[in-house]
Structure 1
Amino acid sequence: MAEKRKLFEEVQSDTRPEIATGGIDSARRGGRRAIRYWLMLLFALVVVMIAVGGLTRLTDSGLSITEWRPLTGALPPMNAAEWQAEFDKYRQIPEFQLQNAWMELDDFKVIYWWEWGHRQLGRVIGLVWAAGFVTFLAVGAIPTGWTGRLVWIGLLGGIQGAIGWWMVSSGLEGTMLDVASYRLATHLGLAFVILGFIAWYVLLLGRPERDLMQSRRIRDAKLFSLGTGWMHFAFLQILLGALVAGIDAGRSYTDWPTMGGQWLPPDPLMLEPAWRNVLENPGLVQFMHRITGYLLLLFSIMVLIRSRRAANRVTSGAFLVAFVALCGQVVLGVYTVITAAQLHVALTHQLLAVATFVLILRARFHAGYPVPQSVRGSR
């Protein structure tokens, strides 16, 4: 006689059906981690690129290479004749004729190596992107929906190279002693855009797709919107900082909080036509950078107050960390002014701008994708 089955026996059984999983799906799940590490490497390289670019600008080295040769330019001069040929090209541009006519070949080599290193690092970043993307694509490790995102990063990198030459070419003719400030701002701005996309993708890949979908349902829409505005406000201040660097406006007035003993810079509209003052008048450009910094700090205080009411502790903490970084950047900005933008101070100011921007972006991410927490951990 057959034994009677107990109630709920099937539910309590330890036997579970086996689910077949394909090799490609498994590779794609593992690919998220590998792609994240690859993007983190690209992130680090872009940060180094921004630092080297800042040093190239601060040492007035950006115009030392007067040609754009994406492939053959990877090799530096290999003998005395080639070095002399490069120096002769540099001697034809306004920067040498009007400012650096005192330079000898050995002096030229110093600024040449800075610019060559800057361009070479750009090539390295391109190769790291291409090698990683082709490898992940070949083994089928790119998660669904991520191919376009990774291509986008590579496309932006290619555009950045072209904009770099567009920037350099502005200082090779006429009476320009440096590159055009608005082109420098465009070049640096795109670097931060690339960095922002990479950082956002790293954050997304750090959480399983299932968790991200669940977190979106409990997003703090108001705080996410404020985080978006905060990020764009900080980006505007970064662009103004690039304008300051482009015309050495940080060294024009070294007193604070006044400028030349006044609350408004002397001769704010001394250039004709008037619109040129916004880009080329050192006093007005530094004044714009200062005022925008004050307004950004006030907006940041408002964002911080709103973030303290967030139900999620991780989200609230992320906004606090970003706010502290921004306050440090404001203090360092003042110190940069009163020290006449000394090289090491100005470079630190630029790198802290990178950290602040990324931390604001991270806070925005946590507002949009809150980390799950227990009821006991909520406020």
Structure 2
Amino acid sequence: MLRSGTSGLVRSNFLRNRIISRRSTTITPPAEPYSKFIGPRDRKRVGKWLLCVAGASFGTVVIGGITRITRSGLSMVDWHPFREFPPFTRARWEAEFEKYKQFPEFKLENHDMTLEQFKKIWWVEYLHRTMGRVTGLTFAIPFGYFVLTRTFPFQLMKKLYCIGGLLLCQGYLGWYMVKSGLEEETAKKYSHPHVSHYRLAAHLGTAFVFYSLVLSTAFELLLPPQMVSITPKHLLFRKCLIGLTGLVFVTAISGAFVAGLEAGLVYNSWPKMADRWIPTDINTKYPWYKNVTENPTTAQFDHRLLAHTVVLSVLALWLYSRRLNLPPRSRLAMNIFLGAAAAQTTLGIVTLLTYVPKPLASLHQAGALGLLSSAIWATHESKLFRLIPK
């Protein structure tokens, strides 16, 4: 009888524990990335270096937007990775101006441009290229030092080599994009000098990917996990954040098509496009497979639709996050994500209604990268959740 009662008690406790384990879970803080291979001091050094690289990349993207908006990108008609210097003498300036005169932008649009006007757009493009080189040096020099001192673990080394290769690809894509605007055939096709919006989207997209990888790696090294009790809803929350970050990226790339096609000047009203929710010329003049990327009306419509979807999705996910037990840093990241989405959407609407003034257009592109940054941070905080039974 005693054995039977003891057995029943054990079985009862086992079943009770099974029920409790199904109803509740806890998070045990996962080990910090690369913690087995790199000490806290080196982790902070590498993380701060990557934040500097991300900052330089951010500045390069912003100046690139100014270059496009001021139509300065075609002022430098050749490219040398290590032999581009300002022409400080008047003779060199005139020689540079003469090279510019041989290409479609001067012949079709700027045939009355003076040397002093040319200098202004040349300096903007030169600043953009210089910032690209500064970003490269900010990455390459410390990277070489850390490699020589064997600071990186193998897993991190592979990732950083990929990031470095992406940076080299980004530099080439920049010239490949500019080259399209120097071609006579492209100018004839569009009746004006035109940088390929496909190459523009590729150039901007590569810059965003590079920035995202650098920033997320810096977060991995600098922001340790936080302990918190969670439920399976946290996993859904994380999946939604990952998808929303991808949507933010796609929306930014759609903005590159809007910029490349100058679609921001097609309809300058909101919330409707003129007097319609769906404009009549959204799918005319182009084959269906080119309509999205060639028709300015469709490009603007798609960008609007994606932007509205982003801000509503961020609001919905923020409201959902209020029901969850989140660590303070994760909640702060969600608050900033919502604020960035609201600010970026408002800025886009104001830019549209005021016929795309240059300062607002440049600020809107910077806002896109800021919104992506907040999404990356919020996603990083969410991936610290790890369900294991009690």
The answer to whether the superposition gives a TM-score over 0.5 is yes
User: Match for residue 220 of structure 2?
Assistant: 204
Question: Would the alpha carbon gap of residues 207 and 189 (structure 1) be closer, same or farther in structure 2, given more than 3 Å must change?
Answer: same
Deviation at 1:247, TM superposition (A): 2.1
Question: Would the alpha carbon gap of residues 332 and 67 (structure 1) be closer, same or farther in structure 2, given more than 3 Å must change?
Answer: same
Question: Would the alpha carbon gap of residues 189 and 27 (structure 1) be closer, same or farther in structure 2, given more than 3 Å must change?
Answer: closer
Deviation at 1:134, TM superposition (A): 0.8
Matches within 5 A, 1:277-316: 277-314=291-328, 315-316=330-331
User: Match for residue 49 of structure 1?
Assistant: 60
More deviation in 84-93 or 330-339?
A: 84-93
Distance 2:319 2:197 in 1: 36
Deviations, residues 45-72 of structure 1 (Å, cap 9, x unaligned): 1111011000000000011111121111
Name segments (4+ residues, structure 1) moved above 6 Å.
Answer: none
Distance 1:83 1:270 in 2: 46
Q: Which runs of 5+ in 2 are unaligned?
A: 1-35
Please state whether the residue corresponding to 1:72 is helix, strand or coil.
coil
Deviation at 1:27, TM superposition (A): 7.9
Deviation at 1:274, TM superposition (A): 4.4
User: Match for residue 37 of structure 1?
Assistant: 48
Question: Would the alpha carbon gap of residues 62 and 266 (structure 1) be closer, same or farther in structure 2, given more than 3 Å must change?
Answer: farther
Deviation at 1:36, TM superposition (A): 1.3
User: Match for residue 258 of structure 1?
Assistant: 272
Deviation at 1:218, TM superposition (A): 8.7
How many equivalent residue pairs? 343
Distance 2:287 2:385 in 1: 50
TM-score, normalised relative to structure 1: 0.84
User: Match for residue 365 of structure 1?
Assistant: 380
Distance 1:110 1:364 in 2: 41
Quick one: percent identity of the two aligned structures?
34
Matches within 5 A, 1:64-79: 64-73=75-84, 75-79=85-89
Question: Would the alpha carbon gap of residues 77 and 270 (structure 1) be closer, same or farther in structure 2, given more than 3 Å must change?
Answer: farther
Deviation at 1:280, TM superposition (A): 3.0
Deviation at 1:308, TM superposition (A): 2.1
Q: For 1:105, give the aligned amino acid.
A: L
User: Match for residue 333 of structure 2?
Assistant: 318
Matches within 5 A, 1:349-360: 349-360=364-375
Return the match for 2:240 from 201, 226, 242: 226
TM-score, normalised relative to structure 2: 0.82
Question: Would the alpha carbon gap of residues 358 and 205 (structure 1) be closer, same or farther in structure 2, given more than 3 Å must change?
Answer: same
Superposition RMSD in Å = 2.4
Partners of 1:28 and 1:141 within 8 A in 2: no
Q: Which runs of 5+ in 1 are unaligned?
A: 1-24, 372-379
User: Match for residue 160 of structure 1?
Assistant: 170
Question: Would the alpha carbon gap of residues 306 and 102 (structure 1) be closer, same or farther in structure 2, given more than 3 Å must change?
Answer: same
Please state whether the residue corresponding to 1:340 is helix, strand or coil.
coil
Deviations, residues 163-204 of structure 1 (Å, cap 9, x unaligned): 111111111112152311121111111111111111111111
